[in-house]
Structure 1
Amino acid sequence: MSLKQRRQTTEQQWHRFVENKRLKPREVPKTISASWQRSQSVHTTKLVPLEDPYETKYRWHESVIHSSAKQELGHLIDIVSEGELVAAISDPSGRLLWTYASKHMQDRAADVNFVAGGRWGEQSAGTNAVGLCLVTKKPVTVFSAEHFHSNLHEWVCYAAPIIHPQTGKLVGTLDLSSTWEKHTPLGQAAIEQMAKSIAKKLPIHTPQAELELHMLGQPHVIYQGKTLPLSLRHCEILCLLALNPRGLSLNALHDALYGDQKVTLSTLKSEISKLRGLLHGQIDSRPYRLSVSCWADFTELWSTIRTQDVEQTFSLYQGSLLSNSVSPEVEQWRHCIDAIMSKSLHSCVDLAQVVRQCNMSAGELVRDRLIELASH
């Protein structure tokens, strides 16, 4: 099948899905069709959001990728300059931190906000290579009408994850894009190799504690220097234990975790038992609490807010706290953190003042802790 035929076929499939929400089996790759399903709430003509240039520039210079990518970026700029291409590096949320476009692609990229500051996660941009790469954590190609936004159907994009070889943490993506008629299978292979090269040069991870909870943005847990694969439920339990270092009774933990859900205490005990096994027994009972040194990005964030350390606050806030959690207490903390960050970082108002304002709408469980943290 020629590229023109493939484009026409893909366009027909896209129209069929948009108009009827139906696809015949094997019409499009499963990863693309699944992304289309997730992207239905994103309007097909909506322009991708663009963040403040100053904040984006700061985030790029503070990114762990910045110094590690210098050598590869030199090679990438040469490749882009010689062809009709645009290259980009995103953070784990899909925010583009750095871009470089050839003269032919500069206007095209600017027209769709494929520039530094553009938010290219699926939730903002629909199906695209950066967003899909973040979801799958694998190299991807998105060709023409495989993009959910109709204004991207002239594009072909290749993206690969930049994954820390020590911790397994996805720290960003590397993307190379052009117009659909320039598509070549070598595009994905090239960008994948460059992403791996950048990852090898990432700084060595120095543990903050024996147990590290990275729950802002893309959740991951590091235990004894290695990434520990955990379910959302286990991440929620660890968050609640970190937020309550003095411990919680079984009933209190159940209320904080499940709220009004009809879940038995024995189910919670079973979840704790599984988690205790993964942590080599480092969860005490009566009350339930962690018996291992623990560092959590969301509690550290409160410390930087309290001291009004804006630079460190920028660095720590990678996104919402466990965005898929429906735990009542986690949800309250998530809403308060997001409110404070959106008000303080985007309008540059006093951090302590924003905390006090947030107290007015915070839930009782969170409000007491907010007052305590803000007053210290």
Structure 2
Amino acid sequence: MAPSSIRTERDALSRRWERFVSSRGNERDGLRPEVAQSWRRSLDQGVLTRSAAPTEDLPDAAWRTSRIGHAVTVLEDELRRVGEEGQVVVAVADENCRLLWTATSSVIRKRAEQVNFVPGARWDEGSMGTNGIDLAHRTGAPCTVWSGEHFNTSVQDFVCYAAPVDDPLTGERLGVIDLTTTWTKTQPLALPATQALAQLFRAVLTSPEAPKPAAQVAQELLEVRLLGRPELRLGARRVPVSPRQMEIVALLTLYPEGLDGGELHAHLYGDEPVSRGTLKAEISHLRRQLGGRIASRPYRMQGPVRCDALDVLAAVRRGDVRAAADDYRGELLPGTESPELLDWSRYLAAAVREGLAGDPDPDAVLAWSDHHPADVGVLRGAMARLRPGDSRRALLAARLRALMAL
């Protein structure tokens, strides 16, 4: 049972709300300025009788790759404990006031679900009127929105304690942490607790393990090495990926304009009976590894990318056979079973060979023969260019004799 003083305050707020609505926003007596301003905007946006928050699908698990998503993952056990023991909903919203994640006790879960206080729901002012998440995001300060201070009647049985989560490295507003419960369970220490959780988020985001800010990651060079020994590097960091994930990176790099889900699936698996869900899971994991550098619709790489296979093709196109041979460190993704990548591998080798057939530069041919020692025609073309006594003739001749002995 709520104390009589709290009930009295709730009744007073109800009367203020009625006067405000009936006067079309002209009667604002006794309201905090930020609440009065929010009520005015909410009235103009027509959210008075909306019974539940609208829902927007979350982009798979992509939000987990974000800075705020990393903090949720690290702090998840602590956040769940707060929700269960405090009999509150712990909610994390993104920079658009969309709920990304919630945890709650069974005591309040059904009440929260009735107003769609669940992941994917939009709790910006234009969707649900005055509420703690939007107000904290808008003002940049911790706040409480209590009972009848909510403009929408469907949420006036709740109290929200919210604090913004700003990136400690960039100052960017990443989202909001919110504790919500029913008005009868008003807790004086809830707002300080919310502020403490926001501080925990900021502490996690300063650790070396946290993903780099999106703007910083977007400017780092993604180096994709597909020839010989595959490797993926983001800036100075080597990115560990599975062979299948490396194939996905290869396809998205070789098709910089992007591939839709069906195209990527066909290029990767061919006729293999592999579900689209499996491909989506691989991409989600890969996106996390790359700090969100894979865009959707179509799937494509974002930010600066350099690929050795594309460097080789560019060298062939400009007639620089020496650079092409030097950069060709072996076949493209050895062992791949992707039908599209097998075609690319054959195409790349043929392009370099044709370039060398037309211009059998001896140094380029020697570099090429490290990976294609059986190319007799190219070896003989290079030999014909060298004068007797040139030390390179001995190397080329030795390779030709080795071939003839087979």
- Normalising by the smaller structure, the TM-score range is 0.5 to 0.7
**Number of aligned positions between the proteins:** 226
Find the counterpart in structure 2 of residue 121 from structure 1: 124
Find the counterpart in structure 2 of residue 188 from structure 1: 191
Cα deviations by residue, 1:346-375 (Å, 9 ceiling, x for unpaired):
xx7x689xxxxxxxxxxxxxxxxxxxxxxx
**1:307 to 2:238 alignment:** no
**1:135 to 2:86 alignment:** no
Deviation at 1:72, TM superposition (A): 3.2
Deviation at 1:57, TM superposition (A): 4.4
Find the counterpart in structure 1 of residue 56 from structure 2: 51
- Amino acid across the alignment from 2:9: R
Deviation at 1:67, TM superposition (A): 2.0
Alignment partner for residue 94 of structure 1, among 90, 94, 97? 97
Whole-Å separation in 1 of the counterparts to 2:11 and 2:60:
39
Contact 1:164 1:200 in 2 (8 A): no
Contact 1:13 1:23 in 2 (8 A): no
Deviation at 1:24, TM superposition (A): 4.9
Deviation at 1:188, TM superposition (A): 0.9
Larger Rg computed on CA atoms: 2
1:186-265 aligned within 5 A: 186-202=189-205, 203=210, 204-205=212-213, 207=216, 208=218
The alpha-carbon distance between structure 1 residues 56 and 13, as it changes in their structure 2 partners (threshold 3 A), is farther
Whole-Å separation in 2 of the counterparts to 1:308 and 1:26:
58
The alpha-carbon distance between structure 1 residues 85 and 306, as it changes in their structure 2 partners (threshold 3 A), is same
SS in 1 for 2:108: helix
Deviation at 1:38, TM superposition (A): 1.1
The alpha-carbon distance between structure 1 residues 28 and 56, as it changes in their structure 2 partners (threshold 3 A), is farther
Cα deviations by residue, 1:62-117 (Å, 9 ceiling, x for unpaired):
32112223343322211221232111101000110001121111111111110000
Deviation at 1:56, TM superposition (A): 4.7
Deviation at 1:27, TM superposition (A): 0.8
Alignment partner for residue 169 of structure 1, among 160, 167, 172? 172
Contact 1:141 1:159 in 2 (8 A): yes
Deviation at 1:26, TM superposition (A): 5.1
Whole-Å separation in 2 of the counterparts to 1:305 and 1:88:
37
Find the counterpart in structure 1 of residue 267 from structure 2: none
The alpha-carbon distance between structure 1 residues 19 and 76, as it changes in their structure 2 partners (threshold 3 A), is same
The alpha-carbon distance between structure 1 residues 306 and 2, as it changes in their structure 2 partners (threshold 3 A), is farther
Find the counterpart in structure 1 of residue 148 from structure 2: 145
Whole-Å separation in 2 of the counterparts to 1:104 and 1:147:
21
**1:66 to 2:51 alignment:** no
Cα deviations by residue, 1:42-66 (Å, 9 ceiling, x for unpaired):
32221311122xx354243232112
Whole-Å separation in 2 of the counterparts to 1:125 and 1:14:
16
Alignment partner for residue 42 of structure 1, among 43, 46, 66? 46
Contact 1:141 1:157 in 2 (8 A): yes
Whole-Å separation in 2 of the counterparts to 1:108 and 1:308:
43
Whole-Å separation in 2 of the counterparts to 1:38 and 1:305:
44
Whole-Å separation in 1 of the counterparts to 2:17 and 2:256:
46
SS in 2 for 1:69: helix
Find the counterpart in structure 2 of residue 297 from structure 1: none
Whole-Å separation in 1 of the counterparts to 2:184 and 2:37:
25
**1:112 to 2:115 alignment:** yes
The alpha-carbon distance between structure 1 residues 200 and 149, as it changes in their structure 2 partners (threshold 3 A), is same
The alpha-carbon distance between structure 1 residues 2 and 23, as it changes in their structure 2 partners (threshold 3 A), is farther
Whole-Å separation in 2 of the counterparts to 1:148 and 1:123:
11
- Amino acid across the alignment from 1:48: A
Whole-Å separation in 2 of the counterparts to 1:39 and 1:22:
10
Find the counterpart in structure 2 of residue 290 from structure 1: none
Contact 1:89 1:99 in 2 (8 A): yes
Whole-Å separation in 1 of the counterparts to 2:66 and 2:106:
27
What runs of 5+ residues in structure 2 fail to find an aligned partner? 221-254, 262-282, 289-294, 301-406
- Amino acid across the alignment from 2:48: T
SS in 1 for 2:61: helix
- Amino acid across the alignment from 2:118: V
